[in-house]
Each structure stands twice: as structure tokens, then as C-alpha cells.
Chain A
Amino acid sequence: MSVHTLEIDGRMVTALEGETILAAAEDAGIFIPKLCAVEGLSAPGACRLCMVEIAGQNKLRAACLTRAAEGMVVRTETSALREQRKLLVELLLAEGNHVCSVCVVNGYCELQSLAAALDVDHVRFTPRYPARTIDLSHERFGLDHNRCILCTRCVRACDEIEGAHTLDVAGRGRTARIITDLAEPWGHSESCTGCGKCVRTCPTGALFLKNKPAAEMKKDSGFIRQIIAARREKIWI
């Protein structure tokens, strides 16, 4: 397998053939903000937070979708990128109803920690305060659309890892929302296996374990990497 050498933020980094800039950067310990990309799942390029500058190209590129190439010169941290990321996080916060203090993942939320890292101390947009619902019909899990940022991690984990494809997205634009089966209450879903992968991959408190007190739910999407590695190495069979 061929290996490419490229420059990210002034550092020489190697990437395997086909590897994305995001993966190469993470392997080298360079942090690029992201909310939708998860190692082991397909990348939809939905959140646009991992946008980077590539020398010689006049467009910003999503690091999660752009393959690393020989001799590429990438910058992940410029004032323009930082301002754009800040703007995106503010738009996400203004779009839903995000009240950290009473959220199950307060302190463990990827949106919250990204907002803190980007110095989002206020939101410049008038919040929409949308009237969204909460689906508590499932025995163990809840889906709070107020906190959903439509990253679709749950949809991809359910489809690509569990193979159930219970979750999907319905609607367009600002009416887009996560649904279970054919937009039925989650508790009525026949395809859901109750595995909980969606809950663990969700970056916010949108998917949660019921009856967990506020700030008591830690999430970690790293388990997907372990499942994939275990399948590849056939360690379970």
C-alpha cells in the first residue's frame, strides 16, 4: 500500500492510500473539530466543522471527505476557519433548544465542549426556540429532538454497524428530523434491536438513557472502532 506524505499545520504527516485528511491528522495527534464524523462510520460531510484550507485550492474542503494526497499543504487552524466554525456552532445552538444545565450529557457533550473550545460565550442569532417533541415511548431510551443537531451518527451506526436501519431522517431543511421506522413512536418499532449504539454515538443529549439524572451520562463513540476491528480480525468467531 502506498503512503503519501503531506504537510498539516507545518508538520510532515504520512497517510495511507485512500485515507482522509481528518484520519491522517488524528493519527498525527492534530485536532480538527467535528461533530458528524466517527471513525468506522461512513462520512456524510454534514456538520462542515472539519473544513480545512488546502494550498492551491480556492475552496475550503471537508477534512472528513477529502483524501490526503502527496505533497498536500493543509492548514486546519486559521482565523477565518475559526470564525466559520464558531458561526456554525452558534447556528446549531440557535436552531435547537439546548439547555446544558439540565441536560443528561452536561459536561460530556461534544457540542458543548466544542462551543467552549471555540469561545462561543454567546449566540449572535435570535434563537428559534422550535416547538419540538420528545419520544419517550421506548422502554430504555429517549429521543429529544430539541437537542438533535442532525449529524446522523445514530442513523449510520444503526444501519452500518447494527444493520437494523431503524433510524432515518425525514423532512427537509429546518423540518428535517430523526425518525424511527416509518415515523412511528420508537417504542412501536419492530426493527429496533434495543442495542443502544445510537445512544452511545450521539454527540449531544438528543439520544439518552431514560432515568439518568442530568450531567450523569457519559458517551463514547470509540466502541465502533472496536467493533469494526473485532469483525475484521474475526476475534468473535
Chain B
Amino acid sequence: MLTRTVVVDRVTRIEGHAKISLSLNEAREIESATFHVTEFRGFEKFCERRPYGEMPAIMSRVCGICPISHILASSKAGDMLLGVHPPPAAVKQRRLANYAQILQSHALSFFHLSSPDLLLGMDAPAPKRNLFALLEAEPDLLRRGIRLRQFGQRVIELLGGKRIHPSWSGPGGVDSRFPHAHREEILAWIPEALESVSIALQRLKPLLDSFRPEIENMGNFPSLFLATASDSGELEYYDGKIRIMNSAGEVLADFLPERYFDHLAETASSDSYMKAAYYRPLGYPDGCYRVGPLARLNIARSAGTPRADRELAEFRQRARGPVCESFLYHLARVIEMLHMIERIEQSIDDPELFGEPVCAHASLNAREGVGSCEAPRGTLFHRYKVDENGLLTKADLLIATSQNNRAINMAVEQTARHFIRSIPAGGAPADGDLNRLEAAVRCYDPCLSCSTHALGRMPLTVEWFGPDGKLLGSLARGAA
């Protein structure tokens, strides 16, 4: 049988490089599907022999969308190496930066990457299912999304001096006091931001009814969930214990982030550069879990801010117990955006944010440091081991997307089985169904560059194989 490659389009609405392969049985029905991540960056390796003080700056280069997460996890690992608790003002600055980053990253995922699918339809022809078509169809909504990102980025700039890769935070705290004069500017953004997210919510919620098949068949499965949990039960993004819960809502474990490696492990596969994380006691694959907005909303008892709490109560009604539908990551993300704006509003009313001191000074007091925080896509862990002078001997990064790896694979497989079902000889999946494969991945807003250190842009390629493992056909999108 001839192998056929059809270049369909240039679609890159995921962050990084990926390929999907479908295996067919004798009847040419989908047997299984695998999500491969195809490039490698290697931060864990090339950070060896560098000083721990440089880690926030180096590690932030893992990602241009969520650098703050890496800076915070890295700074917190540095705090532990110094053996200090940063002053309250430093912690509050870091928290504010994290809220701003989750807001801008979620806005990117929802408005820029996923809204063409949601607002223009999964089956819309590719030329009509992109940002430019959306700009024609929904100029106000898209502009609001861009402004929300701008707001988040501006808060980061005010704190750290620049929007991407600011270097104001490091081991012990942050580098300077946050001027009170910035409060007014942030405050002025709040009403518009709240209005924009409310509009997005009002658009999204009724739309979900028309995506019933996708909600039910695009990554709808029971799994474990993992997120940072606060003692109060409110949504927590910076500090707290790590909670793991099953799909019945039972808490399996609460552990300190400093000991994450006792509870979580990663397995490598030969067909992807992205490792897959699992909960050790249940092993792989039973112990695979989901992180990110859905996991956080499932695990928290309440949001802790009035508007988000109302939305969370409504969100809870979508399931008895934890919500398991991957498609609802989108809704969870928008609810989190609302929560982030409320948190930013609360933060700037706290006089301690503008206080001093902002850094705890100490020299190296420990040989191992672990830092964790909630990144937009889920819980992030950095673990460093250093020699007696503070040069790294080992770095271990446990990234949100690699924790979602198994779930993404399951979502892709479920989507392929339900929507594509089979590929006749000489045929190819319908364009809308191929888009659904990508959309299943997009639910998780994966940051493949973060999780594998892949470089640059790459097309999403789908290949299908016969029972003998022979390549039957492929579609490459955006081959540059």
C-alpha cells in the first residue's frame, strides 16, 4: 500500500511540537492512538555546574508564556537552599505575579488558541477556523481577550521590570519594594477585566450545550487529580500541601511539596520526549493523574472570592463529585481567570504588598532545595541538588504538561475512537475530526516546550498504522 502524505494546512494552535499516531486493526478501525512529543531541550542537563542563584533566570527561559511559574518554583527552591523564609512583602509580590501570569496565560489559551474551535465550530473549514476569521466574526470578544493578556502582562511588568522573563525574584525574596504608585494603574484595569471575563463566561456556558458529543467523548474518563491545597480549602497557587484525589472525590494523600519525589514518579517512553508522571502507590498507568484548572477546581472546597465562588458552585453541578470531562478544562480556565482578577484586586488592597524588607539574606545552608507552585497548566516542581559551593549537581523539573501526558493520550485515543472510528483504504479522516484530535490536546493547553524543552514551532502530524505496524497514511499540518 502506498504511503500518502497530504499537507492540509498550517495550524499551530498548540504550544510546541507534537505528532499523533493512530493504529488501525484488520477492520481498519482505530485500535489505539498515541500523542508524541518530538523534540528535546534539556534544561535539566545544561543547568548542571551552574550556580543556584542563576536558576530563576535560566529556568524562566523554559517558557515565554509561563516564565513566572518557573521563576517562582526556582526562587522557592533557592529559598530552601538558603534555609530562609522570604519576608511577607516578597511573598505577596510573588503571589501577585503568579495571579497575573495565570490570567494572561489562560487568556491566551482560551481566546487565542481555543476560541476558534469553540466559537466558529469544530467542523468549520480550516480557513474559517482561525484567529483572523474570529477577528472578523467576534472582534469585540477577541479584543477583550487580547486586553486581558495585556493586563496580566502589565502587572508582571510593573513588578518585575519586563513582561517576559523578568528577573526580580530570586533565592530569599525579590529585588525591590513594589511602589504604591502602581496600585492605581492596576486598580483602573479591574472593572474592564471583570467585565471581559463575565462576557466570556456568558458566551461559553450556553455554547457548551452544543458541544455535548465533545464533552462526553473527548477525554471524559475517571482519573486522579492533583493540586496545591490550602488549609482553608480555598484555591491556592503559591504555597501549601499537595493533595491527590480520586474521581470519587476521596483524598488519597496530602504531602509536602518538598517530598514530591516520594509520592510522584515519571516514566519515559520510547515514542515521545515527554515523560509521563504517576502517583507512586498506584503505579503506571493506574496512578496517572490530571493537573491544572480542572484539578484545582475539583480539589478546592471553595474559591475564596465571591464571583469565582458563585461560578464554582455552578461548575460543581455538572457532576456528582469531581468533574471528569476534559472539555470542561475550558470552563475551569475561564472561572480561574475570574478568580485571578479578584485575587489581584484583593492583593493590591493589602498594604504589606508595598512593604519592606523584600529579601532574606543568607548563604548556602542546605544541599537540596525544592520549590513548587501552581503554574497555569498545573502544579510545577523544581528540585535542585548542589555541591558545597552552590553549583548544581542535579536538576529535576516536574512540569504540569508531563503530569497530564497520560491524560492527553487517553483523550486523543477516546476522541479518535469516537469521532474517526475507522479509516477506509485510501481514505483519510475528515478535517473536522482531525481538528477534534487537536482540540482534545488543546483542552489541556499543553506547553510542550515546557515539558520537553522542545524548540521552535512544529506542525501537528497525524499518522495511522496498520496492525502490522506499517504506516498507512499521514496528514501533516503546518510543515514549514
Contacts and interface: CB of A to CB of B under 8 A. Distances in A.
Nearest to A99: B58
Contacts of A101: 57, 61, 165
Nearest to B49: A134
Interface string B342-369: 0000000000000000000101000000
Q: What DSSP secondary structure best describes chain B's contact surface? A: loop
Contact of A102 (B57, B168, B171, B389): B57
A72 interface: no
A102 B175 contact: no
Given A134-B391, A136-B390, A214 B51 contact: no
Given A102-B58, A134-B50, A142-B51, A214 B167 contact: yes
A213 B168 CA distance: 7
A100 to B, nearest CB: 11
A234 to B, nearest CB: 36
A216 B167 contact: yes
A189 B204 CA distance: 66
B168 A211 contact: no
B156 to A, nearest CB: 15
Contact of A214 (B49, B57, B361, B391): B57
B169 interface: yes
Nearest to B57: A214
A187 B390 CA distance: 13
Nearest to B172: A211
Interface residues of A, number: 20
A135 B172 CA distance: 21
B54 interface: yes
A146 B454 CA distance: 26
Interface string A156-188: 000000000000000000000000000001010
Given A134-B50, A139-B363, A142-B51, A213 B172 contact: no
B165 A213 contact: no
A212 interface: yes
Nearest to A142: B51
Nearest to A140: B363
B57 A213 contact: yes
Interface string B147-173: 000000000000000000101111110
Interface in A88-109: 101-102, 104
Interface in A185-220: 185, 187, 210-216
A137 interface: yes
A68 to B, nearest CB: 43
A212 B53 contact: yes
> How big is chain B's contact interface, by range?
20 to 34
Contacts of B361: 211
B56 interface: yes
Nearest to A209: B53
Nearest to B71: A213
Contacts of A136: 51, 389-391
Nearest to A132: B49
A114 to B, nearest CB: 22
Contact of A137 (B56, B170, B171, B389): B389
Interface string A133-160: 1111101001010000000000000000
Nearest to B160: A213
A4 B168 CA distance: 50
A216 B53 CA distance: 12
A223 B171 CA distance: 29
A210 B51 contact: yes
Nearest to B362: A211
B418 to A, nearest CB: 45
Interface in B352-388: 361, 363
A216 B175 contact: yes
Nearest to A186: B389
Contacts of B390: 136, 210
A102 B170 contact: no
B53 A210 contact: yes
Contacts of B54: 102, 104, 214
Given A102-B54, A102-B57, A211 B391 contact: no
Contact of A213 (B49, B170, B389, B391): B170
Given A101-B165, A211-B361, A214-B57, 9 more contacts: A102-B54, A134-B50, A136-B51, A136-B391, A144-B51, A213-B53, A213-B170, A213-B175, A214-B54
Closest 8 CB pairs of A and B: A214-B57, A136-B389, A213-B170, A102-B57, A214-B167, A213-B167, A102-B58, A211-B53
Interface of B: 49-51, 53-54, 56-58, 61, 82, 165, 167-172, 175, 361, 363, 389-391
